[in-house]
Structure 1
């Protein structure tokens, strides 16, 4: 399926040619302006017989597009690992709403909890859902190679910091990509069973990146290298004993 994004030229049999001004890849609703009309028209890609400008139908229900960028980012990271940029890491975790997942690319020391932040190296599926680009000057539907070139032009100094060897993580990441791509992504969040406590080192959660895909049924994925040291105890924040006196609690010497 061709890319559907703001700026895409479409054809509607009752309106003619138009340009998409807004898109929601989760629901399939778009806004488009036709001809010299001042107001936009809301259409649904599943039922309103919208086509691309060349006449190719947009089969939103049969071949839905990726609503999150994580699978494309995984392909970028894998290709850069193969080129020697092994100190490049992808962290992904869900937003509180559970509808979208955030992503964060970072370089340098592999520290999952204290990651380095650079402008343009992080984002959210909520933004991608309305405009499927990474924000590096890339175009919607860019290939993996085009995304790498866009990132290199956008922040060459940041990408240079990823140059180096991290064989353990590179091997883990290559195995994960082999199992998940192109339809699934991993999420580094610790899921709590319903009505229970956090489980000691559960399998890494796997999420489909587009609608219509079944739940992941492949082999369980282990946590990335460097994560084992984070699994201590039951992973529950310690609760302080309530104090009703208003006086500071003195630490007892052992």
Structure 2
């Protein structure tokens, strides 16, 4: 899509050619001047059939917008898995308010509890609502292929760490994508155990990525490989290694 900014020449089927004087992409409204220097007309990009001067349509939110980018990220990760970058993992979890979901792409060794220690790329649905980009030089509405190329160009060294085989996770992720895309995403938020101890493992929570979609009623989604044991032991980070002083090492 071409740039849309004050000064852009547009065409309207009832008003003819005009010039944009103001743009509000958060609401989808523009102001334009058609032949009069003193009078502007407000137009809605979703319903007023505004075109660029060369006849290309200006389309804005014809369908309900995504509230979160996770489904697009899932499609991108699946594409990278197919290209051999199988050590790439997508972790999703809600903010404490529950209004938005965060995401974290990380690479290398698959260890869900030590995920915060892994290098990767982060984002939040709250930021995405205002500026719908992932943050690595992509553009709003970029296709899966465009997202892959943008990430590879932005951080080739980071993406190179995802090269390798993880067949169990890749198979699980492909099944999840088949069940959920394009309208739903998963959340790996682990409920805190009740006072009586750890509860049985429930299905993975599934959330729609667009407003107006019904609640998910498809098959239950299992937890990813390497997750099952987290329900049967305490979630304690490993202790740092004990380093003995040189004198103590000699005595030993």
Aligned-partner Cα distance in 2 for 1:31–1:193: 48
2:76 aligns with 76
SS of residue in 1 equivalent to 2:147: helix
CA distance 1:66–1:59, change in 2 (3 Å) = closer
Aligned-partner Cα distance in 2 for 1:179–1:98: 24
1:59-138 alignment runs, 5 A limit: 63-115=63-115, 116-118=117-119, 121-138=121-138
CA distance 1:197–1:95, change in 2 (3 Å) = farther
CA contact (8 A) 1:87 1:107 kept: yes
Aligned-partner Cα distance in 1 for 2:71–2:132: 12
CA distance 1:193–1:145, change in 2 (3 Å) = same
CA RMSD of aligned residues (A): 3.9
1:1-254 alignment runs, 5 A limit: 17=20, 20-23=23-26, 29=27, 49=47, 51=49, 53=51, 54-55=56-57, 58=60, 63-115=63-115, 116-118=117-119, 121-191=121-191, 199-232=199-232
Per-residue displacement from partner, 1:159-217 (whole Å, max 9, x unpaired)?
A: 000000000000000000000001100000124799x9874210000001111111000
Query: Gaps (5+ residues) in structure 2?
Result: 237-252
CA distance 1:31–1:112, change in 2 (3 Å) = farther
Aligned-partner Cα distance in 2 for 1:131–1:76: 19
CA contact (8 A) 1:51 1:58 kept: no
TM-score between both structures, scaled by the size of structure 2 = 0.73
Query: Gaps (5+ residues) in structure 1?
Result: 24-28, 238-254
Which range is displaced more, 165-174 or 132-141? 132-141
SS of residue in 1 equivalent to 2:106: strand
Question: Which structure has the larger Rg?
Answer: 2
Whose helix fraction is larger, Structure 1's or Structure 2's? 2
